[in-house]
Structure 1
């Protein structure tokens, strides 16, 4: 796992499958961030095809969310309540308001944190952090904390674990992560000189997703909330819109369709009930990078957690960091 030849082999030989046709999600509620296009939208279609009762699409641009809703409804005869909720990972006020709204739900069975960007050049977010770090790591981490109370409450209500799944990438295998040696990892990643070659920063934030998910899972009881990360595979997606050059050739040669990527996400959200703190890839539990499993990785994982909580406490007014 993790090498280029292995990547090519899996992309060419493994074909994702949809959820079992016999599966019914009737009566359940799911939430998907970054769901107005790409793999998030396809995952939404898949859950609807399995008769989920309520689906919340969390999007930065509500108008695009409404367009996605109309697109879903026009291509499905399923009876499902679809709601569009605004969520901006650059704004802690937006995240806090979103979390407060989630707390008002009568239940939340599944949460798929899919929102992300792949910026190829250094860009600072409105919050002041490098854009990939803000959207992919800090924003996602803050959202994961704000929705935990509802996930826990639902688990107690239905006497069964709920699910929290964070989208990562196989690219977390492929980066040197030199920032780990800095006194303050996240502060170092905010410095333009640390950005690295084009896709390196994106992949590093996907490693942060795996580390965060591992630590969060370690702090939660799997009887309440099952927490995993998932690699959806290399797929055609708007995620690559900032990429240039050879990426088009790679997409043509190796990419799965958006629909297949959505199947992988849906599988991670509703399947694998006995797997907690796992890294899912090719629709099964697999081994994350050797760094993640190493003693150094464990120490860095805790450091990233502590630094992230410190940032959210300092900047994320309204984001509850004391719930785990």
Structure 2
């Protein structure tokens, strides 16, 4: 599928479908990146569905406590818990997963909403370019580490568990450079200082959102059809969000800030409207679960992904990125290899 600027504008001017609802009694929901914006609004919607536990995972404890109070005040739900995790630190992610293994119990819905935009090249404490680590590597790490709890919940329930990973329609306009596609270690290349010149940093966020789609599809390829777990990528649409605050903070030319403000005024949805897409990806489409597996949600329905993702080149890169991701994350946590062996299968692919 190709997406034009006109189709993007039409989508943004479309009526946003109402929020999906479900009975979440007895279930545990985890929202990562929940203290502001879309994640916070999604958490409020989950709270209104009264799950047994709603865990909001945030990097900043003070902001998380404010979000916790806001959720309880607006929904009357008092089963929300605040846990701390920093996706820019692999050790924090691994510690979070260890804590969940001990204290979290079964997990029915995992929403990986956290993400960053960073116009300048910055390394995390782990030595990876920050956007690549937060949006792809750490997101994939926590998703994989929580697979045992997700599958356990799905086996005990009549409803498969869900992993929801925030992507973006920006992936439609990203075609990785030929040298990235040809590399046996594209993530290493995308993270290198040599690659991350200002021109390439402009598309780094979009690249990370493409990687999210590839990860969801690669994971789905490796889950047996009988496994009670579905992975879904979601496009929240173009929304008012603190994601773009870095541009307001760092842009020196007032005309650029004015242009961004006008663009948001003309096109942006509210964070609550964007959150409805996350909710649909988490609880919607239960009448056709097979259609949801590996799917890409936009405007409250499954839509086709970008042509590159569906191409032979896209399939090849998907498998290469999966292999590199697993190799990297296996060096972070010795649990990754065991989870891959115990819960996933090897698809019919020459890469594996």
TM-score bracket relative to the smaller structure:
over 0.9
Asked if 1:110 corresponds to 2:126, the answer is no
Structure 1 residue 54, shift from structure 2 partner: 1.1
**What is aligned with 2:343?**
none
Calculate the TM-score normalised by the size of structure 2.
0.87
Structure 1 contact 29–109 (Cα < 8 Å) conserved:
yes
Structure 2 contact 164–282 (Cα < 8 Å) conserved:
yes
Calculate the TM-score normalised by the size of structure 1.
0.94
- Alpha carbons of 1:190 and 1:197: their partners in 2 closer, same or farther (altered >3 Å)? closer
- Residue of structure 2 aligned with 1:81, choices 68, 79, 82: 79
Give the Cα separation in 2 of the matches to 1:61 and 1:41. Answer: 14
Give the Cα separation in 1 of the matches to 2:276 and 2:162. Answer: 16
Give the Cα separation in 2 of the matches to 1:159 and 1:267. Answer: 18
Q: How does 1:157-176 map to 2 (within 5 A)?
A: 157-176=156-175
**What is aligned with 2:294?**
277
**What is aligned with 1:292?**
309
Give the Cα separation in 2 of the matches to 1:70 and 1:46. Answer: 15
- What is the DSSP-based 3-state SS (H/G/I as helix, E as strand, rest coil) of the residue aligned with 1:15? coil
Could you say what the CA RMSD is over the residues aligned between the two structures, in angstroms? 1.6
Structure 2 contact 160–230 (Cα < 8 Å) conserved:
yes
| Count of aligned residue pairs for this structure pair | 320
Give the Cα separation in 2 of the matches to 1:99 and 1:319. Answer: 10
Structure 1 residue 197, shift from structure 2 partner: 4.9
- What is the DSSP-based 3-state SS (H/G/I as helix, E as strand, rest coil) of the residue aligned with 1:14? coil
Gaps of 5+ in 1: none
Runs of 4+ off more than 4 Å: none
- What is the DSSP-based 3-state SS (H/G/I as helix, E as strand, rest coil) of the residue aligned with 1:75? helix
Structure 1 contact 142–319 (Cα < 8 Å) conserved:
no
Q: Which has the higher helix share?
A: 2
Q: How does 1:1-324 map to 2 (within 5 A)?
A: 1-20=2-21, 23-78=22-77, 80-104=78-102, 105-178=104-177, 179-195=180-196, 196-197=199-200, 199-222=202-225, 223-243=227-247, 244=251, 245=256, 246-273=259-286, 274=289, 275-314=292-331, 316-324=332-340
Structure 1 residue 219, shift from structure 2 partner: 0.9
Structure 2 contact 184–320 (Cα < 8 Å) conserved:
no
Give the Cα separation in 1 of the matches to 2:45 and 2:239. Answer: 16
Gaps of 5+ in 2: 341-352
- What is the DSSP-based 3-state SS (H/G/I as helix, E as strand, rest coil) of the residue aligned with 2:337? coil
Return 223-232 or 179-188, whichever deviates more. Answer: 179-188
